[in-house]
Amino acid sequence: MRTIVTYDTHHGTARRLAKIIADKLACTMIDVDTPYMAEDETSYDAIVLVFGFRGPYTAQLTKLFLNKMQGKLKNKHVIVVGEGIFSDKEFPGVAESLKNLANPYTFNSYFTKGELRMSTLTFEESHLLGDFAKLTGMTLTDMGEFKEEDGQKIADDIAEYLSKQTVIEDKKEKRWICSICGYVHSGDNPPEECPTCHQPGSVFKEMN
């Protein structure tokens, strides 16, 4: 399974989680903001998207995130991993809207607790979180370190999930035409002999 992990982070936690997952899957990881990707990500079978929650902007930002990945998720195994303060309650809603936007081949989602340090927040973030606290009734305090073992658990689950999925084959079958009689054959290679005019396979030409 050719897999890539992409992440969107503001304070580095999603990057740490992405690293644990990419290490487990032994695959490349990349910041979603990287303008140039060395490898063509359309060649991957599976994409894991990791992002930190951002209060009321979460849905908006994840849509932006998906737009950046536009066309790269269709017909792929897509796994989204959200990390935030608490909230596996709001995550299924976000995951569902991502699923609809991504048009994936298969879809799975995971949520884990992130990390929050009040002292590292910008002025704007403090305000945003203040509103979030009012909305949820939560008292915001430092959450302590992001737990590596939580990340490890998700990485293990993703590895197991992907091991059960099939590699997506290019559905387009090659077609070959006999240049003598026009007989059309479908398959990876031309037939050994044309079944109608009995010319050798070498007279077949691949059709576009």
Q: Which residues are near ligand FMN by CB under 6 A?
A: 9-14, 52-55, 58, 83-87, 114-116, 121, 125, 128-129, 132
Q: How far is the CB of 83 from ligand FMN (least distance, A)?
A: 5
State how far the Cα of 130 lies from the Cα of 61, in Å rounded to an integer.
19
CB nearer to ligand FMN: give 53 or 107: 53
CB of 108 to ligand FMN, least distance (A): 19
User: What 3-state class would DSSP assign to 30?
Assistant: strand
Cβ closest to ligand FMN, residue 11 vs residue 63: 11
29 or 178: whose CB is closer to ligand FMN? 29
Residue in this structure with the two tokens 């303008």, named with its chain if needed: 35
CB of 144 or CB of 182, closer to ligand FMN: 144
Distance in Å, CB of 203 to ligand FMN, minimum: 60
What secondary structure letter does DSSP report for 35? S
Nearest approach, Cβ of residue 54 and ligand FMN (Å): 4
- Rounded CA gap, 84 and 172, in Å? 41
- CA 166 to chain centroid, in Å, comes to 16
Closer residue to ligand FMN (CB): 39 or 142: 142
Q: How far is the CB of 11 from ligand FMN (least distance, A)?
A: 3
Distance CA 107, CA 30 (A): 20
Strand order in the sheet with 106-113: 28-31, 3-8, 46-52, 77-84, 106-113
- Inter-residue contact 29 to 19 (CB < 8 Å): yes
